Amino acid sequence: MKYRFCVYTFLFAGLLLWTGGCRAPEPTSRPHPDGGLQARESPMLTALVRAGKLPPLEQRLPEEPLVVHPCEGPGYYGGTWHMMVDNPDLGMYKMIAGYAPLMRWKWDASGLEPGTAKRWEYSADGTRLTIHLRRGLKWSDGVEFTSEDLAYWAELCTEQKQRLTWPFWALVNGKMPRWETPDRYTFVLKFAGPNWYVPLHLATGFWWSDEYNTPKHYLKQFDPKYNPAYTDYKVFDKKNRSHFNPDRPTLWPWKLKAIEDGGFKMVFERNPYYYMTDPLGRQLPYIDRVEAVYVPNAQVRVLKILAGEVDAQFRLVDPRDLGLYMHGRRSGDYRVILWSEASGGMTSFLVNWSPPDPVLRSLVRDVRFRKALSLAVDREKCNEVAWRGLATPKQATISREAWHFNTPEGRAVFERWARSYAAFDLEQANRYLDAMGLTRRDAQGYRLRPDGKRLQLTIDLPPASITSYEIDEAVIVRDGWEKLGIEVRLRNWPSAQFSLRQKLGQFEISVHGEAEMDLFTYPDWVFPTTDVYWHAQVGKWYKTGGKEGEPPEGIMKRLLDIYDAIKRERDINRAHALVLEAIRLHTEEGLFAIGTVSDTPAIIIAKNRFRNVPVEMRTMGPWAPATPATSYPETFFFAPDNWSPPGQMAHLSATGSRP
């Protein structure tokens, strides 16, 4: 760690000389000269209207736009937002500007607010969800977004001839839903039984809206059902990739325009038909263009920020470099804003419930084995070595900020979970293994399994170039487990292979960050509902309705029974109580994910001209509530010369009607 800091210090010193010491760089972008508060749309769109290439603003907005109240005030139009991403699939970008759901999570994940739908309601028995779309809301090419698009998505999911299938939350007792379109602006989902939390799923992350926002008028030309020139869905699937196909219409605030520099730069341009306005009736977003540069190397990302080449960065900013970023504020012409990472575990060591080795499987399914592994982790050392003391040593959990813990009972349940078997107690850990009968050892002092083989564990790790803290913590964990008489091997895998081994359940121990604000919609950290994390095989069974994977037994079945009860529960308070019941099971019988530390700060870098970024504490880490998209990046803007923020900060919110 000292070496890493020295390298950055040396590079930063050279960077200061290169940029002229304390001389601030020129701002990356300025607003358009005609983009002031008197403009109701971006000047670049006004020019297209005057040229007859675009309809007037009144014809591009829906009858009832979504009105957003910016946190600092109305912004100025224009400019290009330069940011970084770490993967060509643009997951980081979509968490900012790829969020176009029917209903949206509130910024604090405390409930929902309208999105492309203006309202929704359930039948009394919870089996029928009716969604009312905004009239006149349009795709980025000007074609109206209607219930026919959602029905097309439902047809594709039912046919299952391409990559789309019904998501797990749409199934009740393994049965697919039915749907109706009473008119162009009403879409009805009918379930085989009560399914009360579908709106939360529809609002969750970028991934679900990226699937159900299906532009039928565009995609049907590649669909063999409508175009006999195609005999399969290979071309269809390629054309339906929103982050690879500039021709695909979108509901995003900025539309993909081009992929440049050999795939290392993605250029987005404002959607002229976007459905949001500010309180003055001015169309959002304020910023004209976004350039997302693929920067896989973490050290290069640090230098680009210090050099002032990034306008605003909401992820990929390592908290361990906080001192470096604070020191570089003047030369980089940026400010540092701190949110909460809302992590439940910066690194969680996932214990595969169904490892390929049957003998090891019998061992890991004994809770005493998992308790021993947890008690042999020196979390204080993990914090000091890997996190420079910035984190909190604790057990793996979901986010303490989650709405399940908003009551005194909920907070108490969380604290017990966070402390469960989180002490560093090698003596007790050894007693657990001895009580299992693992008392025989070989000549090197390693314990022997029931079949006489040496007790070994392999920890899967991603490439060392992606993250260093997971490597640091894995070394500390290995040392603790070796002291129990377990031989531990660390193995780095290429990114794709690492992820595939985790998804297929081919690992013994793997690593993953853990955070979540809502278990109703992203249950996987507590409930084995999909083929990920520590429950890939059981999750596949649940996800496929029993067609694939491994049937649940014991605690796995108890957890799934609780989750199914949640789906049937209309009373939200009772549903939260069921979540707490499941967490109590994890506290004493779980430890499927063994945590080290959490609660690090989330660093946001924003150029001094880059405004309307909320400075009050918000959460960053969890992906399901779509942060920071829920803080409305559409309202971010570049301030002109001599601009100063208002003295009183307004609370950011949104309403569903024209001001």
Q: At which of 582, 598, 614 does a domain end?
A: 598
Query: Which domain CATH number covers 592?
Result: 3.10.105.10
Looking at the structure, do residues 388 and 526 belong to the same domain, yes or no? yes
Q: Using the 3D structure, point to which of 567, 582, 598 is the last residue of a domain.
A: 598
**DSSP string across 94-118:** HHHH----SEEE-TTSSSEEESSEE
**Is residue 473 domain-shared with residue 616, that is, in the same domain?**
no
What CATH code is carried by the domain that includes residue 217?
Answer: 3.90.76.10
Has residue 398 been placed in a domain?
A: yes
Residues 574 and 626 in one domain: no
Q: How many Å is the Cα radius of gyration of the chain?
A: 26
Same domain, 570 and 440: yes
Residue 385 lies in a domain: yes
pLDDT digits (tens, 9 = 90+) for 150-207: 999 999 999 989 889 999 899 888 889 999 999 999 999 999 999 999 999 999 999 9
Indicate the pLDDT class of residue 258, thresholds 50, 70 and 90: very high
Structure confidence at residue 18 as a pLDDT band (50, 70, 90): very low
- Tell whether 497 and 365 lie within a shared domain: yes
In a domain, residue 382? The reply is yes
Q: What is the DSSP letter of 549?
A: S
Domain membership of residue 403 (yes or no) is yes
Q: Is residue 252 part of a domain?
A: no
Classify residue 247: in a domain, yes or no.
no
Q: What is the pLDDT of residue 648?
A: 38
Inter-residue contact 658 to 40 (CB < 8 Å): no
Q: Note the pLDDT tens digit of each residue in 306-316.
A: 999 999 999 99
Same domain membership, residue 80 and residue 61: yes
Task: State which residues form the domain around 270.
Answer: 2-86+265-340+603-655
| CA pair distance 375, 370, nearest whole angstrom | 9
The number of domains in the chain is 3
Contact call for residues 154 and 178 (beta carbons, < 8 A): no
**Each residue's pLDDT tens digit, 320-357:** 899 999 999 999 999 999 999 999 999 999 999 999 99
Query: Does residue 397 sit in the same domain as residue 503?
Result: yes
Mean pLDDT over all residues of the chain? 91
| 274 and 218 co-located in one domain | no
Residue 505 forms part of a structural domain: yes
Kindly state whether residues 349 and 334 are assigned to the same domain: no
Same domain, 619 and 515: no
| pLDDT bracket for residue 621 (50, 70, 90) | confident
Does residue 245 form part of some domain? no
Which residue in this structure is represented by tokens 């957890």? Answer: 559
Torsional sign, CA 462, 467, 470, 475: positive
What number is the average pLDDT over the span 109-116? 94
At which of 579, 598, 617 does a domain end? Answer: 598
Q: In 3D, which of 427, 415, 416, 417 has the Cα closest to residue 376?
A: 427
Same domain, yes or no: 450 and 483: yes
On whether the CB atoms of residues 416 and 588 are closer than 8 A, the answer is no
Write down the number of H helices and E strands in the chain: 22, 25
Do residues 585 and 615 both lie within one domain? no
Amino acid 658: pLDDT: 30
What pLDDT shows up at residue 545?
83
